[in-house]
Amino acid sequence: MKDFNVAILGCGTVGGGVARIMSELQEEISNRASRKINLRKIVELTPDSAAKRFSLPTDLFYGHGKNLTGEEAEHYIKEVLEAEDIDLVVETIGGSNDYIENLAVKVCEAKKHLVTANKALLAERGKAIFDTAKTNDVTVGFEAAVCGAIPIIKTIKESFTGDSIISLSGIMNGTSNYILSMMQNEGMEFEEALKLAQENGYAETDPTLDINGYDAGHKLVILLKLAFGVDIAMDELSIGGIENISREDIEFAEEINCKIKLICYAKKIDGKIYATVCPMMVKNSNFLSGVKGVTNAVRVVNKYSGKHILLGAGAGSFETASSIVADIVFAAKYSERGQVSYDKQSLDFIDASHFEFPYIMTFETADVPGITGLVTTSVGHQNINIDTVSHNRHKKDRATFSIATMPCTMLQIEKTIAEITNNNPDLLLSTPKVIPILY
């Protein structure tokens, strides 16, 4: 069988890790693919620094170690696309703009396999890429796009094809989990924990996508397509972040034997799919409550085979790169199969506000007698059963307390808050914080 040749576009944190692994394990991965796998060329704007950082020979790079202009990089990318001896292209440039989408489509149109870790690209613009790949009978490998080194994509696409997935839940963003772990275990405030995450390299200078839930949302959109055949846009998914989680929330979580985690959650019920990304109070009996630091974890519940747990590194240069290399080996060994991305199913995607969860409602009110009774009366008016009411925390002329409910919908919660506001306009000093409880 002829050699299988690879080009890498972008040699930063992930692309450099791929190049290093391919160089060090060439014989092993070639044996696994039953054909020789070669890293032919790398397109990188700053090849000298990349070569030094990842101990790579400069002759792997277009330009032989000289920095490239944008025009030069475009010229070399065109060479890659036109090269008859390049079988697969690794895209590790990043971004989800028109340029990157067009580049991914052009790779497939050139009848070259594509491997990427670009979750935002696949979540927001994946349809054109998958359709083009299918038309041209090439594979799209994207194991690294969801949870780094955890093989959740292959597990769903291959291992669970003889079963039916009922639910998915997991911690799919290491930055948010690190911040919440520091708040939980070290008593830190949010801003203090975020700063530490940035100092340790776990959070970007601009951490917005990590803390607002959208990075995790990209991953859940991809898993929804694979697990349930539901093709949804990002703006259809209910997404919340951790930026408003306070020490008081952490303390009340401890009172009810929970830990707060940013959770990706999806469940199939009677032909309907409910999904959300948001902070949840995770019961200590659920293994996700004990997942600390930057670790990622996914819990899958199947109809016949029951519960499955996948745990591991969700990010990092070599951790993510290892998943990309696995996709390269798979393409080299089974490329004649082509690629079927996911099978669409006739399931309805239902807004998360209709799904029943137990919730925590936290109220900040004027500190006057009878406040708790007024609030709990409105809760009862919406047919919501109360599980627990916390003691009031007093700060000057303010009181803060939390109510844990039995399962109800967010619509019921919203009606409760509306009733309280309408009947007592000056009672609530801020919008109540509402967090689901995950058992």
| Catalytic site includes residue 219 | yes
Neighbours of 302 (CB within 10 A): 16
Phi-psi sector, 87: left (phi>0), alpha (psi -120 to 50), beta: alpha
Which sign, positive or negative, has the C-alpha torsion 157, 162, 165, 170? negative
Chain length of the chain: 439
- Strand, coil or helix: 419: helix
Of the candidates 129, 47, 48, the one whose C-alpha atom is nearest the C-alpha of residue 141 is: 129
Our measurement of the distance from residue 202's CA atom to the centroid of its chain's CA atoms, rounded to an integer in Å, reads 15
Catalytic one of 41, 219, 225, 433: 219
- Structural Rg of the chain based on CA atoms: 24
Q: What residues have CB less than 8 Å from 261, skipping those under 6 apart?
A: 171, 177, 180, 279, 280, 282, 288, 289, 291, 438
Of the candidates 368, 380, 362, 383, the one whose C-alpha atom is nearest the C-alpha of residue 424 is: 368
User: What CA–CA distance (Å, rounded) separates 87 from 215?
Assistant: 30
**Residues paired with 394 in a beta bridge:** 399
Q: What residues have CB less than 8 Å from 420, skipping those under 6 apart?
A: 374, 375, 378, 427, 428
**Residues paired with 208 in a beta bridge:** none
Q: What CA–CA distances, in Å, run from 182 to 39, 176, 294?
A: 41, 10, 11
**Residues paired with 368 in a beta bridge:** none
- Asked whether 338 and 138 are in contact (CB, 8 A), the reply is yes
Q: Which helix (H) or strand (E) holds 217?
A: helix 214-228
- Strand, coil or helix: 225: helix
Name the residue type at position 241: G
* Phi, psi for residue 296 in degrees, rounded to 5: -105, 155
User: What CA–CA distance (Å, rounded) separates 102 from 97?
Assistant: 9
User: What CA–CA distance (Å, rounded) separates 204 from 210?
Assistant: 9
Pairing of strands 165-171, 295-302: antiparallel
Q: Report the catalytic residues.
A: 219
